[in-house]
Structure 1
Amino acid sequence: MNDTPGWASPGSAPSDGPQPGGHPPADQAQPADQPDQNPHGPAAKWSPVQPPPGQWSAPTGAPQQPGQTPPPPPPGPGWGAPQHPGGYGGPGPAGYGAWGAGWGGPPPAAKPGVIPLRPLGVGEILDGAVSAMRTHWRTVLGISLTVAVVIEVVTVLLRGLVLNDRASTDALDDPSATLSEITRAMGDVMLDSAVVSLIQMIGMVIATALLTTVTSRAVLGRSVTAREAWQDARPQLPRLFGLIFLLLLIAVGLGAVGALPGILLAVSGQVEAGAGLIVLGGLGAGVVALWLLIRFSLASPALMLEKQGIGKSMSRSVKLVRGSWWRVFGIQLLAMIIANIVAAIIVVPFTLLGAASSGDGISGFVNSSGSPGWAFLIISGVGAVIGSMITFPITAGVTVLLYIDQRIRREALDLELGRAAGLPGYDTSPTTPRS
């Protein structure tokens, strides 16, 4: 029998033997380039020149022989036309339909939690951080609120009791101020900003450490309470503070090295040249510090999730960031910009309200005259707490998801995550050795 759909000759019928009357079967007919012996037979309706098998189409209006199966239509472009259940273009086992629809690529990756188990894009990292905060909002906001309150209380006390008398900018607005007065005023302002930034950075690292467990469980589609997150993070907290101290020591050391030539020049009597060299050295040290900060930016989640020591977590971060410095820097910079915009929307009204309730009013706050009072510090601190409740989860989630993304790209962590989530098809996958 030769009745394969799409490959049988035109006009053939499903038959194995000779036709009644002694005529041979249609699939054994004479070649198309020879004259037809029966001009009134079915083959007379067809052109002597036929297309190759599987590409022809029946002429419009051509009658079909009784009992003859009409030929199937030609396949559509890209093999995307539906064929039969279970075929490449129709419903069937998962994945076959996606491959049949115009070669659209492999089936989508499994997504047990807030991210798909594959290398992530920038939008997926940001969306995963927001989704983790929205899905586990009680735990996330509870941790963020606790850390933010502690940080703001320390900041308000320092600014109100210690830094309030030093952070004076009157010399910067005085045209007749000497260079030493301007330098001292700039130093006071930089000291105030550095102390506040240091406290905020410590709070950010602690929040990242506590939220690492929440985000890692959210990737697997599982929830975790604040108590469980604390129990998981508590054994690593001493090492985490050691990591913070070491990173700060490196930053301070770089700043001292950058400013040392200018300081020596200023001590020798060339004050103006020394001040300029201090500025240049500080800028150079800042660039080097930023480069190292990005290289070590994944040390905190590595320390918390892998239960590593300080040195091992820093080396793990360097290995994961190697070759992707600009990508990691760009994603973290974008997350920081988004978080700061959200924080500004919340903090600015509280800042204006605190300025209005102070003794000098908003005009005194705008003109930078006088020192901020307790009313301003407390009211603006409340706004900062509310802003930190939203910004901490975003920045912490982005850092953790960046760590997971880099491990997926370099170490096939998605296989381990699929097995941990209990997904079918991942339990038999071989374990990928860690690089």
Structure 2
Amino acid sequence: YGAPGGWGAGWGGPPPAAKPGVIPLRPLAVGEILDGAVATMRTYWRTVLGISLTVAVVTQVFVVLLQGLILDAATDTNALGDASATADEQLSAMGDAMRASGPVLVITLIGTITATALLTAVTSRAVLGKPVTLGEAWRDARPQVLKLFGLIFLLMLIAVAIVLVCLLPGILVSAAGNSDAGAALKAFGILGSIVLVLWLLIRLSLASPALMLEKQSIKKALGRSAKLTRGSWWRVFGIQVLALIIANVVATIVVVPFALLGAAVSDGGISGMVDASSDYGWTYLIISGIGSVIGSMITFPISAGVTVLLYVDQRIRREALDLDLARAAGLQDYGTSVPGTTPGS
């Protein structure tokens, strides 16, 4: 067995899957999804850079203006750095901090989803190995942009509704006069809402590429995402979290020096970064905002690429999308042989 002319002679395993672009046309391993996102950035860097820079600048301008004009003046977090503050004062300060971070997170979420949608055309063509310009990406995305923002708005409404429903029992009990029981119910409500919102966002995380690539309505895009992620929640969640960690670690390496520089040239100084009551003002916001723009230029393409490639991967696994992709890439006689296996998927 295995000797020249014996059993297994000449057997090298199944032929490898075709790879016209950044990924092979078969079910993907985790590493291949991440590598495909990075390869898209590297191959189509002009288009990716143009989209990411535009969205990052617009997003960060809104964040800086919001923090400088509204949030800093309306937020009092001094109690967080005061060891003598009472529990009520610290809870109130924590609430102010959460209310201040909420709008920033919403703006960041909008920017991330927008970049994902605009970069969808780039990634989808990268799968086929076809070049795409910034103008072509915009023409592909433009008919669906209004639907995209409708999708974002609907997802935020659903998340807010879940949070309110989970907090309602605690609010009612507190209003009835039992503050201790109400506080306990609110705490459980917050935990429950976090779990439910996270579960729902992962189930619907592929709605954006479904909306953009399949030209679906909002309702059908949500249904497509729920269908594609059914039975694969933990896999989709794990890959999304891994991509998020990698992108943010790299972005942090870029952002932290700008934050330190902004603090150094501000009145509070670098030592004031540990003081919750420090107010750096516009200088710090602008310099750290520049760092955030550069960081977003890294996080946007990675998160967008991973989301789109996850969508492609789930469709390959469930709907044999690789056959359609091969035909679109101009491959002849694709599918007549058995594609290669997927290691580590």
Deviation of the 1:289 alpha carbon: 0.5
Give the corresponding residue for 1:141: 49
> CA contact under 8 A between 1:419 and 1:427: conserved in structure 2?
no
1:129 to 37, 41, 58: 37
CA shift in 2, pair 1:197/1:423, >3 Å: same
Aligned-partner residue type, residue 269 of structure 1? G
Give the corresponding residue for 2:342: none
Distance in 1, matches of 2:301 and 2:94, equals 33
> CA contact under 8 A between 2:263 and 2:270: conserved in structure 1?
yes
1:336 equivalent to 2:244? Answer yes
Aligned-partner residue type, residue 189 of structure 1? A
CA shift in 2, pair 1:183/1:425, >3 Å: same
What are the superposed Cα offsets for residues 376-399 of structure 1, whole Å, 9 maximum, x if unpaired? 100100000000001100010000
Name the count of aligned residue pairs. Answer: 337
RMSD: 1.9
Q: Which 10-residue stretch deviates more, 297-306 or 186-195? A: 186-195
SS at match of 1:162: helix
Q: TM-score, normalised by structure 1?
A: 0.75
Distance in 2, matches of 1:406 and 1:346, equals 33
Distance in 2, matches of 1:182 and 1:266, equals 19
Give the corresponding residue for 2:162: 254
Q: TM-score, normalised by structure 2?
A: 0.93
Alignment of 1:231-270 (within 5 A): 231-270=139-178
2:324 to 404, 416, 419: 416
Give the corresponding residue for 1:349: 257
1:318 equivalent to 2:217? Answer no
> CA contact under 8 A between 2:76 and 2:96: conserved in structure 1?
yes
Distance in 2, matches of 1:367 and 1:183, equals 17
1:120 to 14, 28, 46: 28
Deviation of the 1:324 alpha carbon: 0.5
SS at match of 1:426: coil
1:79 equivalent to 2:8? Answer yes
> CA contact under 8 A between 1:165 and 1:371: conserved in structure 2?
no
Aligned-partner residue type, residue 424 of structure 1? Q
Give the corresponding residue for 1:16: none
Give the corresponding residue for 2:333: 425
Calculate percent identity across the aligned residue pairs. 68
Deviation of the 1:272 alpha carbon: 3.6
SS at match of 2:198: helix
Alignment of 1:17-96 (within 5 A): 75=4, 78-80=7-9, 89=10
Write 1 or 2 for the structure with the bigger share of helix: 2
Give the corresponding residue for 1:287: 195
Bigger relative contact order, structure 1 or 2 (CA pairs below 8 A, ≥6 apart): 2
The unaligned stretches of length 5 or more in structure 2 are 338-345
Distance in 2, matches of 1:262 and 1:428, equals 61
Alignment of 1:185-196 (within 5 A): 185-196=93-104
Distance in 2, matches of 1:143 and 1:388, equals 11
Aligned-partner residue type, residue 42 of structure 2? R
The unaligned stretches of length 5 or more in structure 1 are 1-54, 56-73, 81-88, 90-99, 430-435
Distance in 1, matches of 2:97 and 2:280, equals 13
Q: Which runs of 4+ in 1 moved over 4 A?
A: none
Give the corresponding residue for 1:392: 300
Distance in 2, matches of 1:295 and 1:278, equals 25
SS at match of 1:297: coil
Aligned-partner residue type, residue 154 of structure 1? F
What are the superposed Cα offsets for residues 110-145 of structure 1, whole Å, 9 maximum, x if unpaired? 000000000000000000000001000000011000
SS at match of 2:76: coil
Aligned-partner residue type, residue 79 of structure 1? G
Distance in 2, matches of 1:359 and 1:278, equals 39
Distance in 1, matches of 2:18 and 2:334, equals 10
Structure of greater Rg: 1
